[in-house]
Structure 1
């Protein structure tokens, strides 16, 4: 890092917006409102579609009720974290501003705004999805067939996409308009609010959905040989509820925070690179993203000649990506001068001016790298997860020799795909970095712009993701109601398989955005360190930074190892939470089949509400430990080992998190579609031993791809943002006149104690499947174990908040 780039934060921070740049910010706000207007228009379009039979409406009503009850309960739990975070944000120091109190208030206020926006997008997307799935099922059995059904599903996803780009751009532009040169500090709060809520929604929703899904599959499909969404299975309603709270609400919040945090990183580094113009250009690129979102959703139309829905979705995505690249090139030539000296801003660092780079080509190159990276990740993920590709076909073929080989083949696919994805993402990051030449600040800004460029297609990406659970739920409603003919059922099966692939693709793209955003935030962290060291009275900031970031320092190596270890611990906690909750679901569904034999001949109805309540209760209880780990671990490392160790911690987490997230997501996606391959008739079809083997593989992959894997994305950004927020205090209490070793060590020990207590508390909770033998042995008879089990379920039933709407 050059000395000029280190001094940059202080120089650029004093910049104020010119009149023309204020106009650009207002234009961005207008386009954000246009996106929200299109969201409202598409909501009306979806709700006008036919709702199917009364029986279908009752089933959908039960799913809506369960999903809404879960989210309300989750938001009540998370409100406590929001209040605590607001107080801590106000107490943490800020640097490089003459309006410290005003900036602290703004940072805390926009933390709430980011959290509310993230919650609203997740909740609104889920609410519409639980209404759209009914309409997709009805349309599949109607005269419009697969074209109409897919149109409804994708337009619903388009609503969530418009909300994502609209609210993300609105929040970022509003902060810039109000706080001007202090906007980057305030934006830290906005991004942290979005990321924190997304992480909790991802973890909680993922635990809920996969506990229900695993329980439904193991007892229904494997033990009782009934279809996946058979109404005789007590876990079916909970499974459909889980698809919405996990894949709709959780993923929508996840992609919103990716959008918001990437924009935040670009604005922070943009101002550091060249003052006020660096605040404006990322907003212009994001405004292009609004136009691309509208275009992409409108051109996604399934033609009769298309092989399946994925053909139409891929066509629309690649067209949108190409138009995005062209549009960004146009606005770059219009807005940016052809030399950095042409900015005429005192905030431009000398190393950037002397780099000889053309800002137009740097911006275009960075954005195009991001767009190409999104397309490449889509193609690569599709190869490892599509049913017509060799990796999934090989997993399906291995089902002929049992579940063990299916599991081994899926793990192999995940591990291999993680390597290629990591290399691809690494190439994108390094390619963007090279655009900055000799200037580190410009290079990091280029990385942030690459992330912003990738997310110009986020409207289409979100629509692709939401399409998956809507199609899945539509098939479930059709199967449970029995009111859809064979042709309609075949259409829904096809859409469900397409949805599995689109979900896997969007998870891959979300991982790429997480790495780009985390890398950019890492750059923001080093800039914050430089400013904080300068504030602490360090004369040679450049030398101090080099010493802090020296990986040969054992303290930093320990920090790196802890960062990688936290990713593993986080993943293990999330998967274990699903296992624990799924065990309770399995026991409950078995109990209902055992005690109510009329369920199988349809003379008795299952007690769906009990399973929904088990999943709701466990998801709320289990999400706390991973959440506390994500927040407290950086605090413990930063205050305990210092700023350099915290930087190494972030590097370790980014490296391990990238590989782990791709491995988990692609293994799970491949197992899921291998199951679909067998269910479509390969290797004996439904009910065969091969089918049972792939169901086992799918149940192993469920918490991989829908709980732990996706949750790593917000985890990386939460830890980066926490580090960014505490950096001034970490530096101040380690060096200079404010050095306070007792306070620093106390904070570190408290953070360690909180994490340790949370993990121990989580591990001490009983596993339902493990309780029965112990009780039986103590009583000496199986009847006693059954009585204890019944008592446990009576207690759970007393807490049930979900009415059973299914007849």
Structure 2
């Protein structure tokens, strides 16, 4: 067993944290009941909403059955990987199932309630009740937010109570399960939603000249289904796994840095504070007459964040010692043998500052992302104005916004991480623990962040249901337009915060990987320790090669995701065109489109495309680690994190700017709907859809999955490379199998035609006939 234990006081603290997690779930249930108690709208609204809910439920059900295969395989693989004893290995595998199960539950809950709330928001707008519409949409998000923080904290607290000093190892499985399922849900949901959205826009708005959610467009139901499985289910699972993974990293590093003085408890206290402030934040969010809804939402976020910061600072000084010399049970492990207590560090002050840095970082990223993507900001209005010169300039200006915003976001995160490292006073483990605490601080706001994100698709779908039913006009339509515009911005903002949490979590996991290497080297009792540490030098060829491969994997992953959307969207375009051509009565409403066929195409194609990105994420670090060593794997993770943050921000913010530029033109600027300027922004938005809702968000769980895989396999790599158990042939065989799996998956993916319905003469040229 581990030398870190729980005292009677520590056990009481964990029990209190467990109770707070249950309170969060209770409040989530209360918010859900409030939403369902409101009127579901007219008969036509209920009919459309029911079709959306049925399609979303069918998709997620098929997706979960598909992912069940991956879960079973991962369960048994975790049993094989080294751990202290069999009980810990079994616990890690069981925790993996719980992490995956919780992630799936939150995703399904987000989708299920959102599809019920859509029609209720539309009904509130139909009655001219703007305040009620906003309250329903935000309480829907609040339900998902409470489930996210409640289940995340519940899982971590139960594992700490049961496994105590071995809890960090067991929680590796919990975080891996949450991250793996979230990545699959992000990729699959993103492909579904953007295939439907792109197909609906290109054929409906550009070719047929009908509104976005016109019931004559066969892709409209699929588009609304996609919003729920992509934005609601996918983002909820994404933020849940960020929550779980950050807790895992904080507990691993906490036990190494603090030992028995809060190593297993303080990382739980901070999220518990966040639960309480998130509940207050959801209750504070109310529409105010004459005030933009976004300002009301932001005000609640900032008040919740400020409350969490103050309470966290007080908790740090109450629960942590003021000197590292007073630490009890601290491992002597640190880089080159220096312990966490080697430097004179004030853990209480450092932890307090770290949490505040995390919360301030969240607030600043919220403002920065809103600046680059909001409808009232200069960058987005500049993109909208370029529509006067055509789609090419719209696309170019959006790319420019995305590239520029990535720089400012990355520099901001870099400054925060550097500041956190200076708090460690020379102890690398302590510094990395402060990075993990900053992630915990940022995630004190996750309950409100999830509510903000869910607000977006609920408002968007409410407008779609209103337009398809034809039951909302005048003031009601204007209310929904306002809420939809606000929702576009909140979705973009939460994507920025999700990226930031991913980077902090990945950096903390990177530190956990180092701790795992140090422990494995110590256990191996090898005389080659110095040679191992040489591999971590940046100018070592193995580390450099690892960095290049890590960055390249992010590009390949993004390319695979965007190509998948291109293929699936092509199928939708041709299907919708076919229906317009073969059913001319659709345009005069004498015939109904085949909505179910489009939903089925999206479902089939998105599930078919899941495997390749998932296999790449899991097997690439295995190939690098077993093939090139732990130093190359460290370089791989560094390359993936750096490239991932830049790519994710670029994709998310360029897509958000294009989306809101379209909204600006649709509101009557630069000619308004039906003009060439409007068509240009539709093209830009179509390009941005797979950027911001498929590839970009999927990078968040990608970098965490890869870090967790590295963390899990690190002891096995050391064991097969050094000491009495060294076996180069077995190590290289594992790497070769991983490479074969990756190459096979990519080849299968590339064999699918990216363009559907190619012109016969061009097809002949390609085939050589």
Task: Give the TM-score taking structure 1 as reference length.
Answer: 0.93
| 2-structure distance, mates of 1:641, 1:489 | 59
Please tell me whether residue 102 in structure 1 is matched to residue 87 in structure 2: yes
Please tell me whether residue 318 in structure 1 is matched to residue 302 in structure 2: yes
Write the deviation string for residues 469-504 of structure 1: whole angstroms up to 9, x where unpaired: 000000000000000121111110111111110011
| 1-structure distance, mates of 2:456, 2:121 | 12
Please tell me whether residue 393 in structure 1 is matched to residue 381 in structure 2: yes
Q: Secondary structure at the match of 2:263?
A: helix
Distance 1:188 1:687, change over 3 A: same
Write the deviation string for residues 631-675 of structure 1: whole angstroms up to 9, x where unpaired: 010000011111110000000000000000000000000000000
Q: Secondary structure at the match of 2:510?
A: helix
Are the counterparts in 1 of residues 463 and 484 from structure 2 also a CA contact under 8 Å?
A: yes
Are the counterparts in 2 of residues 157 and 466 from structure 1 also a CA contact under 8 Å?
A: yes
1:360-759 alignment runs, 5 A limit: 360-539=348-527, 541=529, 543-759=530-746
Q: Greater shift after overlay, 657-666 or 329-338?
A: 329-338
| 2-structure distance, mates of 1:688, 1:293 | 44
Alignment partner, residue 214 of structure 1: 198
| 2-structure distance, mates of 1:444, 1:223 | 54
| 1-structure distance, mates of 2:203, 2:605 | 19
Alignment partner, residue 167 of structure 1: 151
Are the counterparts in 1 of residues 256 and 340 from structure 2 also a CA contact under 8 Å?
A: no
Q: Report the CA distance between 1:346 and its aligned residue.
A: 5.2
Please tell me whether residue 180 in structure 1 is matched to residue 177 in structure 2: no
* Matched residue count: 760
Q: Secondary structure at the match of 1:388?
A: coil
| 2-structure distance, mates of 1:49, 1:246 | 25
Alignment partner, residue 138 of structure 1: 123
| 1-structure distance, mates of 2:322, 2:595 | 65
Q: Secondary structure at the match of 1:769?
A: coil
Q: Secondary structure at the match of 2:616?
A: helix
Write the deviation string for residues 401-422 of structure 1: whole angstroms up to 9, x where unpaired: 1000000000000000000000
1:18-417 alignment runs, 5 A limit: 18-94=7-83, 97=84, 100-143=85-128, 145-276=129-260, 277-306=262-291, 308-345=292-329, 347=331, 351-417=339-405
| 2-structure distance, mates of 1:251, 1:716 | 16
Q: Report the CA distance between 1:546 and its aligned residue.
A: 2.8
Alignment partner, residue 5 of structure 1: none
Alignment partner, residue 787 of structure 1: none
Are the counterparts in 2 of residues 411 and 667 from structure 1 also a CA contact under 8 Å?
A: yes
Distance 1:669 1:207, change over 3 A: same
Q: Report the CA distance between 1:344 and its aligned residue.
A: 3.8
Q: Report the CA distance between 1:347 and its aligned residue.
A: 4.4
| 2-structure distance, mates of 1:637, 1:355 | 34
What 5-or-longer segments of structure 2 have no aligned partner?
A: none
Distance 1:138 1:348, change over 3 A: farther
Q: Report the CA distance between 1:357 and its aligned residue.
A: 2.2
| 1-structure distance, mates of 2:139, 2:759 | 47
Write the deviation string for residues 48-87 of structure 1: whole angstroms up to 9, x where unpaired: 0111100000000000000000000000000000000001
Are the counterparts in 2 of residues 274 and 348 from structure 1 also a CA contact under 8 Å?
A: no
| 2-structure distance, mates of 1:743, 1:453 | 42
| 2-structure distance, mates of 1:574, 1:434 | 38
Q: Greater shift after overlay, 168-177 or 346-355?
A: 346-355
Give the CA RMSD over aligned residues: 1.4
Write the deviation string for residues 413-463 of structure 1: whole angstroms up to 9, x where unpaired: 000000000001111111111111111110000000000000000000000
Are the counterparts in 1 of residues 563 and 754 from structure 2 also a CA contact under 8 Å?
A: no
Are the counterparts in 2 of residues 273 and 348 from structure 1 also a CA contact under 8 Å?
A: no
Alignment partner, residue 783 of structure 1: none
| 2-structure distance, mates of 1:777, 1:448 | 57
| 2-structure distance, mates of 1:171, 1:585 | 41
Are the counterparts in 1 of residues 535 and 542 from structure 2 also a CA contact under 8 Å?
A: no
| 1-structure distance, mates of 2:189, 2:759 | 27
Q: Secondary structure at the match of 2:289?
A: coil
| 2-structure distance, mates of 1:653, 1:378 | 24
| 2-structure distance, mates of 1:728, 1:337 | 32
Q: Report the CA distance between 1:149 and its aligned residue.
A: 0.2
Are the counterparts in 2 of residues 208 and 616 from structure 1 also a CA contact under 8 Å?
A: yes
Q: Secondary structure at the match of 1:175?
A: helix
Q: Secondary structure at the match of 1:197?
A: helix
| 2-structure distance, mates of 1:648, 1:347 | 25
Write the deviation string for residues 202-256 of structure 1: whole angstroms up to 9, x where unpaired: 0000000000000000000000110000000000000000000000000000000
| 2-structure distance, mates of 1:767, 1:653 | 26
Alignment partner, residue 6 of structure 1: none
Alignment partner, residue 795 of structure 1: none
Are the counterparts in 1 of residues 330 and 340 from structure 2 also a CA contact under 8 Å?
A: no
Q: Secondary structure at the match of 1:551?
A: coil
Q: Secondary structure at the match of 2:756?
A: helix
What 5-or-longer segments of structure 1 have no aligned partner?
A: 1-9, 779-807
Are the counterparts in 2 of residues 587 and 768 from structure 1 also a CA contact under 8 Å?
A: no
| 2-structure distance, mates of 1:198, 1:456 | 20
Are the counterparts in 1 of residues 36 and 117 from structure 2 also a CA contact under 8 Å?
A: yes
Are the counterparts in 2 of residues 56 and 478 from structure 1 also a CA contact under 8 Å?
A: yes
Q: Report the CA distance between 1:554 and its aligned residue.
A: 1.3
Alignment partner, residue 781 of structure 1: none
| 2-structure distance, mates of 1:205, 1:592 | 25
Q: Secondary structure at the match of 1:278?
A: coil
Q: Report the CA distance between 1:777 and its aligned residue.
A: 6.9
1:781-792 alignment runs, 5 A limit: none
Q: Report the CA distance between 1:769 and its aligned residue.
A: 2.5
| 2-structure distance, mates of 1:260, 1:496 | 30
Q: Report the CA distance between 1:774 and its aligned residue.
A: 6.0
| 2-structure distance, mates of 1:354, 1:723 | 27
Write the deviation string for residues 724-752 of structure 1: whole angstroms up to 9, x where unpaired: 00001111111111111111111111111
Q: Secondary structure at the match of 2:82?
A: coil
Q: Report the CA distance between 1:772 and its aligned residue.
A: 5.2
Distance 1:351 1:753, change over 3 A: closer
